Chain A
Amino acid sequence: MARAIMSDIKRDHIHKLLSKGKRVDGRTWDEFRQVSIERRFVESAEGSARVMLGDTDVLVGVKIETGTPFSDTPDRGVLSTNAELIPLASPNFESGPPDEDSIELARVVDRGIRESEMIDLTALCIAPGEEVWLCFVDMYVLDYDGNLFDAAFLGAVAALKSAMVPAAMNGKGEDFPLPIRNTPISCTAVQIENSILFDPTLDEEKVAAARLTVTTDENGDIRAMQKGLEGSLTLEQAKRIIETSQRLGRDLRKLIG
């Protein structure tokens, strides 16, 4: 996210607390904020979920249509992921074509879903080389208080798991649930003066030096990662974030069911 202005007094406050091992909202370093997931929030979507992660609010919808496959994958359905940082959600978001932040967000979520093989794309083939199901995942940030990666990822996974393929409407037999094979979970942490904090709030993101998002599958294996921001991580820090993501991922996966 564009480096928004941060008052010195807030910055100092975060640093001072961190030196005592504390966070502004009283959480421990590896504690996520309260998560709530409302499935099927939008009826016009084939699947949808609204996720609140603390005060971060993300709405994700899945639309499924028929279309032509890519020529290099003629027997597989198509997954397309898009994120919109709409100006309703933050004074620092602007309308217009997707900027680098929303593209990074969409691509990190896309990678987690794709690389974990969450969706069985081969089951979304109607006629090889001619017709397949196209699956559009659209993510909208409604209220922004940090850690969009994990809120959007939870939303995307919950929306996909609630999605029905509209076969009847398209004359392709009966509707069926989107074929799901796996429930990947992403966990994001930031490094601030060598402290590691999971699920950063907006204020914590603003003072963070580095960020790491780790997407794990049901076996705890790593399926995707993304390091962000200008600062660095030590190997020890990276390992600690990965291990913790595997542990936290198990708990978050239970929420999605």
Chain B
Amino acid sequence: MTAYLLKRLAIALATLVLASMVVFAVLEILPGDPARLMLGMNASADQVELLRNQMGLNAPLVLRYLHWAGGLLSLDFGRSYTYSVPVIDLVRERLAVSLPLALIALALSTIIAVPVGLYSASRRGRAGDTISMGVAQLGVAVPNFWFALMLIYVFAVWLRLVPAGGFPGWSAGAWPALKSLLLPAVALALPQAAILARVTRSALIEILNEDYIRTARAKGLPYRAVLWRHALRNAMIPVLTILGLQFAFLLAGTIIIENVFYLPGLGRLVFQAITQRDLIVVESVVMLLVAAVIAVNLVVDLSYAVVDPRLRSRQ
């Protein structure tokens, strides 16, 4: 188990270093001079050169990489060219929206998907299965912003239970902040739940054909007990894999939903930074997401080992 853990950890760290090099290199190759951008088109070449020196843009490539990577380690991401504030402040502010949103959406998607998958798998081929999988198919096909608009119409405009958009900030209290995240979380969760339910169902159906399910039935366990005690845990591996992927998507791939609900999230930050060529912000957020994805994968790998004893004893 320790060997497995250490190996996974080493792989995660190596991936992180490699990814930081790629991110740094790509942004180096991209055309556009940040100093020129900050000073505007009317600045003289001398002024640009001065700023380039100040920003350290003229130092050798390796030195600049080390400086940048060292900064990342001490959470010093540099200053945004356009906002002229430390990037870390921007990111912290946006994460306060995006992270809770992603977590709520993920939790919702799991809570919806696993029972639906269990139900469908246990009534395979019957009406209940056909209907719930039909609904899931619809959930996969319909884009989440459409759900978002429908949710706004019903819960915000019609029932007036929650605000239609905007984010009051956590300083306004936990409940108002949570309330404004509720609809976007549901809109994000529904398509994810649809995918997850289908994965859960097919994983379970495969497991239900295994010999050890028959052994469990021959012990006298009723079908439902077999499903919960024997099938579900074995079906967890594909489900955990999808959950890991979904978390990464929910953290940064939510730009459309953030726009629909006017949420100041990470997705919008990246989008704005790209259009304004605020490369240092782009770099930092991309690195942050890379780190998050790697961390989630690490957690997923470790949970495989918790679920499956065979992984614990292998390396």
Are A and B associated in one complex? no
